[in-house]
């Protein structure tokens, strides 16, 4: 398995897609029940293959990621050949970016000496999708990129 198995809830949400996936392999509902009962290792493999296919499809469409912690923002644009990072770090213990108040403080104090901006570009390894997946596993969320675009304009990129 290349990525990670979908959760039970994710499988429930993708129930129809999973049925279609089994159908592409000419596995009927009755055959699937038989596989689950009599060949659990084969059923596990089918779940893993389907999970990888879903993850690959999702990762192929990712354009922006955000990882927000109490003292840092990591905003990523996933381009074709590389990843662009805008990072914002704060050196002020009483401000927490994960709170509404912390975000308001940031918006109102963008020129503060307590804020550091970083800008970087990184080429992907041999596997772009795996690089993106690792960021998601580390806590990044897929977004539409509003924050990235805001700070990109702000720092003049």
Q: Taking the CB of residue 14, how many other CB atoms lie within 10 A of it?
A: 16
pLDDT of residue 154: 83
Two tokens at 54? 């879903």
pLDDT range class, residue 157, cuts 50, 70, 90 = low
CB of 72 closer than 8 Å to CB of 87: yes
pLDDT of residue 76: 97
Residue entry with tokens 């993106």: 132
Q: Mind listing the pLDDT tens digit for each residue in 83-101?
A: 999 999 998 888 899 999 9
Share of the chain above pLDDT 90, in %: 82
Share of the chain above pLDDT 70, in %: 99
pLDDT of residue 34: 93
Beta bridge pairs of residue 90: 115
Residue entry with tokens 């912390």: 102
Q: Mind listing the pLDDT tens digit for each residue in 41-62?
A: 999 999 999 999 999 999 999 9
Q: Mind listing the pLDDT tens digit for each residue in 22-45?
A: 999 899 999 999 999 999 999 999
């Amino acid at each position: 398995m290349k990525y990670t198995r979908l959760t039970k809830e994710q499988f429930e949400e993708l129930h129809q897609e999973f049925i279609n996936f089994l159908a592409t392999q000419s596995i009927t509902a009755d055959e699937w029940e038989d596989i689950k009962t009599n060949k659990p290792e084969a059923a596990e493999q089918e779940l893993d293959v389907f999970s990888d296919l879903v993850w690959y499809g999702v990762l192929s469409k990712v354009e922006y990621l955000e990882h927000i912690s109490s003292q840092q923002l990591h905003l990523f644009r996933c381009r074709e050949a590389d990843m662009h990072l805008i990072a914002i770090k704060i050196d002020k213990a009483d401000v927490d970016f994960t709170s509404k108040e912390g975000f308001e403080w940031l918006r109102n104090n963008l020129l503060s000496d307590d804020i550091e901006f970083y800008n970087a570009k990184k080429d992907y390894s041999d596997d772009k999708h795996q690089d993106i997946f690792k960021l998601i596993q580390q806590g990044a969320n897929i977004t539409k990129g509003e924050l990235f675009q805001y700070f990109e304009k702000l720092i003049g990129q």
